[in-house]
C-alpha cells in the first residue's frame, strides 16, 4: 500500500500525468458521446472537465501540478486559432458573395450575447471584475483571456466562462433552434451553424461539425468572424463606457 502511495506521489507530480489523464479521459468521454448517439447532454468537454476536476479534488492533486502536463494540450489553442483561417479560406466564395450580411449578423449576434451578459451581470450585482470577465464569454477561450486581460477582467475566469458558455450552447442549441422553428434545410443549417459559432465559439462549432458538415462550416466561419470583431470591439466598448 505504501509503495502504491509513493508511486502515485511520484507519478502525479510529473508532467506526464496531466497530459496522460487529459487525453485518456477525453478519449473515453468521446467514446461515451459516440455511444450515446451524440446526445447534447453527453458532451465530451463537459464530462472530461467534470471527471478530471473531481479526480484531482479527490486525490488532492493541485491544479498547477495537473496543468504542468495539460499545458501541452492547452498550448495548441494558439495554432488552432491561426488554423481557423483554413475553413474561412475554403468558404471565401460564399463569404465574398454575402460578407456584408455575415458581418452584420456576427455584429448583432455578438453584441446581443456580450451585451446581455454584461447587462444581466450588472443587474444581478456581480463584482466589476466578474462583469468584465463575462464580456468576452462568446469568443474562444484563448482570445477571451486576452480580451479580459485588456479590459481589466480576470483571464482565468474569462476562460472558464467561455468554456461554460460553449458547453451551454452545445448542450441546448438544438432545443432552442427547434423551439424558434429554425428549419433544417440549407438556410436553416446556415442559421443554426452560424449562431453556434457566434455565441458558443469552438465548443459550439465542434458540436455543429458532428451534426452536419455544412452546419460545422458555417460555425467555423462565424467563430472566425466573432474572434476578429470581439477582440477589436470589446476593448473599444470598454474604453468608452
Partner 1 sequence: MKALQGFAWLLVLQSAGEALARLLKLPFPGPVVGMVLLLVALRWSLVRDSVAAVAEFLLAHLSLLFVPVGVGVMTHLGLLGQYGLRMAVVIVLSTWVGLGVTALVLRALMRGDRPDAGLAAGERDAA
Write out the binding residues for partner 1, residues 135-154 only, by CB under 8 A: 137-138, 141-143, 146-147, 150
Query: Grid coordinates standing for 183?
Result: 428549419
CA separation for the pair 210, 124 (Å, rounded): 36
Q: Is 34 in the site for partner 1 (CB under 8 A)?
A: no
CA separation for the pair 113, 78 (Å, rounded): 24
The radius of gyration of the chain from alpha carbons, rounded to an integer in Å, stands at 19
Query: Grid coordinates standing for 8?
Result: 502515485
| Residue among 5 and 91 whose Cβ is closer to partner 1 | 91
Smallest gap from residue 16 Cβ to partner 1 (A):
15
| Residue among 7 and 120 whose Cβ is closer to partner 1 | 120
Distances (CA, A) of 180 to 154, 177, 196: 34, 5, 14
Query: Grid coordinates standing for 143?
Result: 482570445
DSSP 73-98: HHHTHHHHHHHTHHHHHHTHHHHHHH
DSSP classification of residue 153:
-
Query: Grid coordinates standing for 197?
Result: 459559432
Among 137, 177, 169, smallest CA distance to 155 is for 137
Q: Is 31 in the site for partner 1 (CB under 8 A)?
A: no
Write out the binding residues for partner 1, residues 159-218 only, by CB under 8 A: 159-166, 168-169, 172-173, 176-177, 180, 182, 186-188, 190-192, 194-196, 198-200, 202-203, 205-206, 209, 213-214, 217
Out of 40, 48, 208, 211, which residue is the one contacting partner 1 (CB under 8 A)?
Answer: 48
| Residue among 8 and 122 whose Cβ is closer to partner 1 | 122
Smallest gap from residue 81 Cβ to partner 1 (A):
4
Write out the binding residues for partner 1, residues 69-128 only, by CB under 8 A: 70-71, 73-74, 76-95, 97-98, 101-102, 104-106, 108-110, 112-114, 116-117, 120-121, 124-127
Question: Is residue 222 classed as helix, strand or coil in its secondary structure?
Answer: helix
Which span (8-16, 19-27, 34-42) binds partner 1, by CB under 8 A?
19-27
Q: Is 132 in the site for partner 1 (CB under 8 A)?
A: no
Amino acid at each position: 500500500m505504501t509503495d502504491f502511495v509513493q508511486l502515485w506521489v511520484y507519478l502525479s507530480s510529473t508532467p506526464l500525468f496531466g497530459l496522460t489523464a487529459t487525453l485518456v479521459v477525453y478519449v473515453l468521454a468521446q467514446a461515451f458521446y459516440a455511444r450515446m448517439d451524440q446526445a447534447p447532454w453527453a458532451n465530451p468537454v463537459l464530462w472530461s472537465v467534470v471527471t478530471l476536476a473531481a479526480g484531482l479534488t479527490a486525490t488532492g492533486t493541485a491544479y498547477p501540478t495537473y496543468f504542468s502536463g495539460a499545458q501541452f494540450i492547452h498550448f495548441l489553442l494558439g495554432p488552432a486559432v491561426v488554423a481557423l483561417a483554413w475553413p474561412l479560406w475554403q468558404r471565401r466564395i460564399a463569404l465574398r458573395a454575402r460578407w456584408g450580411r455575415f458581418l452584420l449578423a456576427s455584429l448583432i449576434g455578438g453584441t446581443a450575447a456580450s451585451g446581455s451578459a454584461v447587462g444581466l451581470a450588472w443587474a444581478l450585482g456581480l463584482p466589476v471584475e466578474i462583469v468584465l470577465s463575462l464580456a468576452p464569454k462568446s469568443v474562444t477561450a484563448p482570445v477571451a483571456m486576452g480580451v479580459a486581460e485588456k479590459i481589466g477582467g480576470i483571464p482565468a475566469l474569462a476562460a472558464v466562462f467561455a468554456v461554460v458558455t460553449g458547453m451551454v450552447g452545445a448542450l441546448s442549441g438544438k432545443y432552442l433552434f427547434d423551439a424558434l422553428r429554425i428549419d433544417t434545410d440549407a438556410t436553416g443549417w446556415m442559421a443554426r451553424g452560424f449562431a453556434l459559432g457566434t455565441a458558443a465559439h469552438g465548443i459550439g462549432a465542434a458540436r455543429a461539425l458532428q451534426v452536419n458538415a455544412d452546419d460545422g462550416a458555417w460555425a467555423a466561419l462565424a467563430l472566425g468572424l466573432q474572434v476578429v470583431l470581439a477582440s477589436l470591439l470589446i476593448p473599444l466598448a470598454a474604453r468608452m463606457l
